[in-house]
Structure 1
Amino acid sequence: MTWVITVTNQKGGVGKTTSVINISAALVSRHGFRVLLIDMDPQGHLGLSLGVKPTGTADTIAAPLMGLRRLSEVTHETSINGLRIVPSNEDLAAVEEQLSRQPGREAVLRAVLTGEVSEYDVVMIDTPPSLGVLTFNAIYAADYILVPIQPRLYSIEGLRRLYKILELMKTRLGRRIEILGHFLTMVDNRYRITQEVREDLRARLGDGLLRSEIPSSVRVEEGHFYRSPVVAYAPDTPVASAYTELASEIISRLVSSMNSQSITSAEKGAETERITF
């Protein structure tokens, strides 16, 4: 079984790409998972952070989205055995414009993945900080959504927009995607706002707010500079340990979901209709 997980929040700067990289690396290195990363952000930071730079558009996710190549033909190895990536570059923005004009535009990525990812345990998708066709595709293709949240003022604004998308997909497109969990990133407990936002989110989300929190750390940026996940670059640091714990918590929820065949709001805090912002 392959789980497809999209990491998204329409508020930028919350650590989406960093979280995709490090959760995936922890799944591979600590749990033996086979993971495929897909970069749906035209900035292409996911590949760059892992030392993967495509030679051109034909070497990126843009090619299969346009029906020009199969997904396997644009899949790259990384320095971590068991972790592969389909990168992107700035040309993906032009592809988004083309996709926006075709019927069924929100389901293109899901069709691309069909029959192409069975060798992986997890497919993890990174998204741009926007509500365009690329983000819609990334969400529509997912079995589950993970939502990183930076504990700052206005942090819930991106959540409101995300919930509207999920509700739209359910009511108009008949596609129900569950939120596996929300988690705090760039946590700095020296600031009172951190505790206030944490308490507010816990009250609103209940168990939908994961226990694992990612602390703010310069090691993350160092890892990007050295083209390595922090869980590999500095495995004994608090931030690496936090991502490892988060990966374990994610696995626990995935297994629980698989066993129960449905995620209830009581278990996951993920029913958007029950969450008020």
Structure 2
Amino acid sequence: MAHPYVVTISSEKGGVGKTTLATNLAIYLKALNEELPVTLLSFDNHFTVDRMFRIGRTQGRGDVADLMNGRAAEEIIEIGQYGVQFIPSSKNLHQIRDRIKNSDVLARVLAASALEGIVIIDTRPDLDVYTQNALFAADRVIVPVKDAPSLENCRNLYDFFDSQQLSRRPLRILPCLVDTRIRFDGPFKDTYQLLKGYAINRGYRCMEGFVAKSPKVESLSTNPEGKIYPVLTHGRGTDVHVQFTHLARQIYLEVIKEPERRLGQVQREEEQAVTCRSDAFVARRLRLESDCPLCGKQLVEAQGIINAGYYWETSDQALCGYLDDECFSEAVFRHFYRSKREIGTTDPLRELFRESAQRSYFVLRRGASTVNFHRQQLAFYRFDEEGLEVSCKIIDLKDLESSPGVAKQGLTALLARTLIEGDGLLGDRFLLIRRVGSDLPEEILYDDLHQPFLGAAVRIASQLP
């Protein structure tokens, strides 16, 4: 199944005719080929799309907010007037705005959908996260401009494409609401030629033609019934009708001539990313130490990871593995919190430690006062989720000599395997430790959790003395 060709209408300047352009272009494209699926959606909250295309008063099964939350487009699409499909607008987009962190969310949702033909996206008059998503997914971006200020705003759209390392090729300027009665002396005879000349001078490419200002067209959205009428049915006697016909033919020819789709590229990149993430997981899995360095208990087996409470990794990423939950808690209380009483496995103090560990990173590294073999210190840090220091405990390694046998051997074995170098001294690297879930300890090996883990390591490293 072919991916749809995505046309985004975008301008940071309001009042340039974006919605009029989006809605009428959908109708004209459908008129060119009745068999061509044309789907329209809008990130603006004026509900013009719904008012213009909805048949009857039935409530939709979803809206664009659901689409951005990952719901399949074919589940919420409606068949509207003139044969145009549309996804209902939403008044709740502001509620999910902060959850949308990337500009590729819409592209991935549309790439996974069953939509075909052409998708037209109407955007808000600002470069917010929804507009960015609409731009990222586009095969063609039409930027309506009506004056010098709206042309100047185009720079931000081009800068966005550059920041995403996308080709500028999809971007096209379209002079709109051009008053054809205005004439100039000199090389530019009218507003259209002037705007086109300014655009070309700035290195912008243009669509062929323009859309004129027309009182007749403007009146199609202002009437006692509150309806919005299309140019095709109620403005055939205007120049705008001819101009929209010409514009629709340009887009239609692009759809026919360009077999490659932006969404196909996005899907291939996503598949490659999934493969890379899978390979990275396997590579990390193979690097794991099989046993707990504190007690020697085997934690990593062929069929999975068992009884692991904490994941550890050296700051140079050379070594990694897991720690037994009870072993790590015992070592912390015995050596760094200097508990004089036995802390049982169900002791409230140990439960409190486990609970706080869910929101912490722990670090073992050489103490700042370490100078030679006879005076080595070990620092035990706790950092919060943002990588900010919460506490620090320091012990002399010689104090391990007075520890009970098992406790001494555990911490000594951990240091010997991870931090102590060939000369018997603690080296420059540190050990980063993070609590893992008992249901799926290997989850931290996946990119979604391992990349934040590495990011925390970088932030923590910048703070360590």
TM-score by length of 2: 0.49
Q: How many residues end up aligned between the 2 structures?
A: 246
Q: What is the RMSD of the two structures over their aligned residues, measured on CA atoms?
A: 2.6
Q: 1:130 and 1:165 mapped to 2: Cα distance?
A: 12
| Structure 2, gaps ≥5 residues long | 185-189, 263-465
1:201 aligns with 2:199: yes
Greater relative CO, 1 or 2 (CA 8 Å, sep 6+): 1
Q: Indicate which of 16, 20, 31 corresponds to 2:22.
A: 20
User: Does the 8 Å CA contact 1:219/1:230 hold for their aligned counterparts?
Assistant: no
1:106 aligns with 2:106: no
Q: 1:220 and 1:95 mapped to 2: Cα distance?
A: 35
1:168 aligns with 2:163: yes
Offset at 1:232? 2.4
Moved more, 178-187 or 128-137: 178-187
Q: 2:252 and 2:124 mapped to 1: Cα distance?
A: 25
Offset at 1:93? 2.0
Offset at 1:179? 1.9
User: Does the 8 Å CA contact 1:38/1:124 hold for their aligned counterparts?
Assistant: yes
Distance 1:18 1:198, change over 3 A: same
Offset at 1:180? 5.0
Q: What's 1:158 paired with? A: 153
Distance 1:148 1:197, change over 3 A: same
Distance 1:258 1:73, change over 3 A: closer
Q: Whose radius of gyration is greater, 1 or 2?
A: 2
Deviations, residues 164-188 of structure 1 (Å, cap 9, x unaligned): 0010111xxxx44632522111010
Deviations, residues 31-82 of structure 1 (Å, cap 9, x unaligned): 33220112122333332333478848x6211112123x4212221121112x
2:137 partner letter: A
Q: 2:63 and 2:105 mapped to 1: Cα distance?
A: 15
User: Does the 8 Å CA contact 1:180/1:253 hold for their aligned counterparts?
Assistant: no
Instruction: Specify the SS of the correspondent of 2:20.
Output: helix
1:220 aligns with 2:217: yes
Deviations, residues 133-192 of structure 1 (Å, cap 9, x unaligned): 111111112222121111x1313222101000010111xxxx446325221110102234
1:169 partner letter: Q
Q: Indicate which of 111, 126, 130 corresponds to 1:130.
A: 126
Q: 1:47 and 1:205 mapped to 2: Cα distance?
A: 37
2:50 partner letter: G
User: Does the 8 Å CA contact 1:146/1:181 hold for their aligned counterparts?
Assistant: yes
1:63 partner letter: D
Distance 1:61 1:187, change over 3 A: same
Instruction: Specify the SS of the correspondent of 1:125.
Output: strand
Q: 1:159 and 1:180 mapped to 2: Cα distance?
A: 10
User: Does the 8 Å CA contact 2:173/2:199 hold for their aligned counterparts?
Assistant: no
Q: 1:157 and 1:54 mapped to 2: Cα distance?
A: 42
2:220 partner letter: G
1:196 partner letter: L
Q: 2:136 and 2:66 mapped to 1: Cα distance?
A: 19
Instruction: Specify the SS of the correspondent of 2:207.
Output: strand
| Structure 1, gaps ≥5 residues long | 262-277
